[in-house]
Amino acid sequence: MQPGAAQARLRVTTMSSLWTRAKNSYSTKCCSSGLYPRSNVMIYVTIAGVVALPGFWWLHTRNDAPHIESAPAEHWSFEPGPSRDQVTRIISQGAYSFLVRNVAGVSRYDGAQLASNSPCEDQFTHGKLPSPWKGGKKWMAWAVFDGHSGLQTSELLKNQLLPFVQQRLSQLKPTSKGTVPEELVQRAIIEGFTKLDDSIIKAALDISQSEESLQEKVKKLAPAYSGSCALLSIYDSTTGTLHVACTGDSRAVLGQKRPDGGWEVMPLSVDQTGKNIEEVARLYKEHPDEKDIVKNGRVLGIAVSRAFGDGQWKWPVEFQKDVQRRFYGPPPLVPTYNIQTPPYLTAEPVVKSTKIDTRSPSFLIMATDGLWDMLSSQQAVDLVAKWLESKAAGTRNSKPEPVYEPFDFGQFWKGISWKFVEGRTTVQDSNVAVHLVRNSLGGNHHELIAGRLAFSSPSSRRLRDDTTVQVVFFNFPDLEK
């Protein structure tokens, strides 16, 4: 017998033996999900080992099993909650700060993100971008994306929303002065938003009927199963115009310095939720024969009235059922809600354009609702103002930390506010976005903020949401150093 034939016979015998062993180990019991037999794993490992025989033998020829080391129960102790230094590390993790060169009017911007979900469902982007028109000065953009029911939609927006908007802007024709009317810019931004959402929602029918593999279909449908708000700010340095586009309940606010030295609050977006009277009126106008679209401030069960993704609120009922049956999509809204004339949500943003006054300083605060659940727009602007005053004076922690009585969350029901309290304000962070996050969670009340941060997902969602903050400074020459 030739050596090759002997090896082949040995391999066939080995494969037969291994397959028999795998079949004998198969059990009809299912895992906790009720979907998959546990011993499928054994079959997969066996097959993988046969395909790569040397790898299979490596798996079974380790010298010895690992030892499990454990201490007697009486020696076990809890891991302590976060200390003051650990609180700072937690809320500063991933924070960033950039000085801006060669973009007229923009001095610096800071950002921070604190996760509650695991993984975090918020996403963000920021930086310079070329003018959409040839020969123009550099523009800048900042965006935050508040995902829900997963991060698939917000992650897609992080990578694709700005390119979609840029593509629409590039189709506009500037005047001889290199500018385009604001209303045309706003329309292009709106088209970029809606075109991207169409590619998520309307393309789902084609995807479901395509010849692609199951795994490819599931992957492409995922951004339509989850959802996301979007808040995008684009700064045109040629005209000094800030275009803010909002879909959902993330919020943008501008702090403008008044002649008396105080700070004026200018809203640049409006929260689009079932509590917004104008949004509720719009929904009933679009669906005049449906009386129960909005209840308790929610649109057929969801808080926002505009969002990307969220196919349950946009697809016909039959398609919702089909997607769930064939691709394990989210359960249809029926019979819980009476769905008659979808879509009920839209990704169309409201766009507001604002001239940035080059004669005085101003700053833009953008954040997901994790911050606005704790702070009003006025309080956020006041906190940034305090941070600026402290930075100008070169002082931080100038006041001694107050002494608080022992705290537990039951005090929230006894007159202690779970939201921001001015008396708990502290200034101790070099990054202003981190400063906002710290004060939104408890400020100088260490036990309160540390208690909130001691929770991990999913329990942490009872006390705080994913929070993403960006702060942009315009015309602050002292911050450029």
* Res. 1: pLDDT tops 70: no
Residue 100 has pLDDT above 80, yes or no: yes
CA–CA–CA angle 352, 476, 177 (5° rounding): 50
Instruction: Look at residue 397 in the predicted model and tell me its pLDDT.
Output: 65
The pLDDT score that the predictor gives to residue 358 is 86
Tell me how far apart the alpha carbons of residues 382 and 421 are, in angstroms, rounded to a whole number: 12
Residue 46 has pLDDT above 90, yes or no: no
Residue 50 has pLDDT above 80, yes or no: no
Flag the least confident range among 76-80, 81-85, 413-417: 76-80
**C-alpha distances in angstroms, 54 versus 226, 239, 372?**
42, 66, 57
pLDDT given at position 363: 98
Give mean pLDDT, residues 216-243. Answer: 97
Q: What is the pLDDT of residue 193?
A: 98
Could you tell me what percent of the chain has a pLDDT over 90?
Answer: 75
What kind of architecture, by CATH, is found in domain 84-270+348-408+416-474?
Answer: 4-Layer Sandwich (3.60)
Mean predicted confidence (pLDDT) in 311-331 = 96
> Which residues lie closer than 8 Å to 114 by C-beta, 6 or more apart?
90, 91, 370, 437, 464, 466, 467
Digit-coded pLDDT (tens) for 131-170: 999 878 999 999 999 999 999 999 999 999 999 999 999 9
Q: Is the pLDDT of residue 23 over 50?
A: no
Which pLDDT belongs to residue 40? Answer: 43
Q: How far apart are CA 158 and CA 153, in angstroms?
A: 9
Collect all residues with Cβ–Cβ distance below 8 Å to 145 and sequence separation of at least 6. Answer: 122, 123, 124, 153, 154, 157, 158, 161, 228, 229, 230, 231, 250, 368
Q: What pLDDT does 51 receive?
A: 45
278-319 pLDDT, tens per residue? 999 999 999 999 989 999 999 999 999 999 999 999 999 999
Domain boundaries of the chain, sorted by first residue: 84-270+348-408+416-474
Instruction: Determine the Cα–Cα distance for residues 194 and 179; give it in Å rounded to an integer.
Output: 24
| Separation of CA 476 from chain center | 29
pLDDT computed for residue 178 by the predictor:
74
Over residues 385-408, the pLDDT tens digits come to 999 999 888 877 657 788 999 999
The chain-wide mean pLDDT, for the chain, equals: 88
Can you give the pLDDT at residue 401? 80
Can you spell out the DSSP letters for 312-352? GGTS-HHHHHHHHHHH--PPPSTTTS---S----B-PPEEE
- Express each pLDDT in 346-355 by its tens digit: 999 999 999 9
Q: Which of 45-54, 63-72, 372-381, 417-426 has the lowest mean pLDDT?
A: 45-54
Kindly indicate the confidence band of residue 413, based on its pLDDT and cuts at 50, 70 and 90: very high
Q: What is the pTM of this model?
A: 0.85
Q: Is 97 exposed, middle or buried (0-12, 13-18, 19+ CB in 10 A)?
A: middle
Which one has a higher pLDDT value, 110 or 177?
110
Q: pLDDT tier at 60 (50, 70, 90 boundaries)?
A: low
Residue 66's pLDDT is what? 87
For residue 338, pLDDT over 80 is answered with yes
Residue 171 CB neighbour total at 10 angstroms: 9
Q: Which residues have C-beta within 8 Å of that of residue 210, sequence separation ≥ 6? A: 217
